[in-house]
Chains A and B, each alone.
Chain A
């Protein structure tokens, strides 16, 4: 049996700048494993150990997703091997196209009982790829998963805890499923030298996009314009805080004058 983790090698928009014409300058942003993916890998690792399952990482994207540092970063966190589709046509792919490619990768790997993903990617933050992926596979999907336990994957029944507005819902799921881990679902281990060295020896399989029969999208998306959103101009006024009571009075007076209090 196999557990798959879908991960992303990408950049943090906090390190990017937006030019006046609305295009994004990523040149100063360093690529890395997407922020919440280590949580997904850790959660899946724990499940794989209990179930005695093979743990396989998958990723798909444009140029750069297959560089050795990327696969090593994922493998050192506890994956047994990775399967990668690197194709320039995926650099600007939409959520549904990416999910369709990942679904075909899951089918290609075969014998997969569970797919685990992070909460959202650090760059796009759409939270939709696991949902569309499950839709493509026809599997149940659960987002905001805080814990997975119970009978284990082997028996075909999973016990999944999910954060819902106002609390937690515990679900029992039969058959293969897609789970999107919440950011606090597991505490990722930081890989040490031993894990990094071991990662260099683990298998990396590069798949051609053309080798997968990815169904075409019915929607053609064209970017007709880009812009840098207008940000409200802020006063940027610093209030002297050497005397907290005076500072507080000054702030309250300013807010009352502005009509916000």
Chain B
């Protein structure tokens, strides 16, 4: 059996979207797992045709299995190799791409096969433009992984890779104290930007989120720099891309790098004190004013 598409899996088996894309290309789908054995077992039951587990000890990070992943993929060279966007999976995909001397694309909107070519419609330059690319040769695709796939019938046997891990180990883990979130699942999302003066003021936003049944997200500096929320909550070209029914931007200026992440939203509302903020040209409803007055007023109006 010659694998047509390899899926690279790190610490989490959140690969439902990767399986869907790999299956749509036809041919056998293999998965190489650099995470714990339990992840390999979940993947083996997910409907893929072949599973190889790199078998590193528990205190070894997924990244250490880069040579084993590259070796496994190169031993049965595919047309396409796919991975999710987590830092560990990016490193593993990079190792596989380097070994295969593959093209690397990270903005794929659609992927298809046309004779000898892999055709990718690829968003480029922070998603401002799209290119249709025909690739003759191996392609490495970084995609949104999706969720954990449900068990789909019998498990395939788990093979083990032989290559030794790189000299790296986990000596400590600390939780951030932030709740993890899958923004992609939320129907309504409130985005908080630097217009919010203090972390304590998030309580006011949380009250609105509760009233409107929304998840709270943010612009990049709020998660990286101010550190008010986990990094899985920032929206933008290098963060989450969401398509909720409602996106409510509070104190967000509307920079391109943020707004590309919410283009798919059905309705966009923005609150900002600056009437010239770029966000107002990209919204359905704009409220120019003091968010400290408007946010509680909206919360009250919902009751």
Contacts and interface: CB of A to CB of B under 8 A. Distances in A.
B2 interface: no
B216 to A, nearest CB: 17
Contacts of A239: 285-287
A142 B285 contact: no
A211 B268 CA distance: 52
Contacts of B115: none
Interface residues of A, number: 92
Contacts of B168: 140, 142, 171-174, 177
Nearest to B293: A244
A232 B283 contact: no
B106 interface: yes
Contacts of A136: 98
A260 B246 contact: yes
Contact of B97 (A96, A183, A231): A96
Contacts of A260: 188, 245-246, 266-267
Q: Name which of A96, A99, A172 has the most chain B CB atoms within 10 A of its CB.
A: A96
Contacts of B210: none
A226 B302 contact: no
Interface in A189-226: 215-226
Contact of B129 (A22, A167, A216): A22
B4 interface: no
B102 interface: yes
B274 interface: no
A170 B136 contact: no
B270 to A, nearest CB: 10
B280 interface: yes
Contacts of A162: 87
Contacts of B98: 96, 99-100, 103, 132-136
B34 to A, nearest CB: 13
Interface in A108-130: 119-120, 123-128, 130
A131 to B, nearest CB: 2
Given A22-B131, A184-B225, A248-B301, A224 B119 contact: yes
A241 B295 CA distance: 12
Contacts of B230: 165-166
Interface in B261-303: 263-269, 280-290, 293-294, 297-298, 300-302
B50 interface: no
Contacts of A63: none
Contacts of A244: 289-290, 293-294, 297
Contacts of B93: 128, 131
A165 B232 contact: yes
B289 A134 contact: no
B162 interface: no
A234 B283 contact: yes
Q: Name which of B11, B86, B124, B142 has the most chain A CB atoms within 10 A of its CB.
A: B124
Given A218-B101, A222-B135, A226-B130, 20 more contacts: A13-B256, A14-B126, A18-B129, A128-B106, A139-B166, A141-B66, A144-B87, A170-B173, A172-B168, A183-B224, A217-B137, A218-B137, A219-B138, A220-B137, A227-B129, A229-B129, A238-B287, A245-B300, A247-B287, A247-B289
11 contacts: A23-B129, A96-B97, A125-B106, A141-B95, A164-B11, A171-B61, A171-B171, A175-B167, A218-B100, A224-B133, A244-B294
Interface of A: 13-14, 16, 18, 22-24, 94-96, 99-100, 103, 119-120, 123-128, 130-136, 138-144, 159, 162-175, 177, 180, 182-184, 215-229, 231-232, 234-239, 241, 244-245, 247-249, 251-252, 254-255, 258-261
Interface of B: 11-12, 61, 63-64, 66-67, 70, 85-88, 90-107, 119, 123-140, 142, 166-178, 180, 188, 212, 220, 224-225, 227, 230-232, 237-238, 245-246, 255-257, 263-269, 280-290, 293-294, 297-298, 300-302
Q: 8 tightest CB-CB pairs across the interface, nearest first?
A: A131-B94, A135-B98, A219-B137, A241-B289, A248-B297, A135-B95, A143-B87, A219-B103
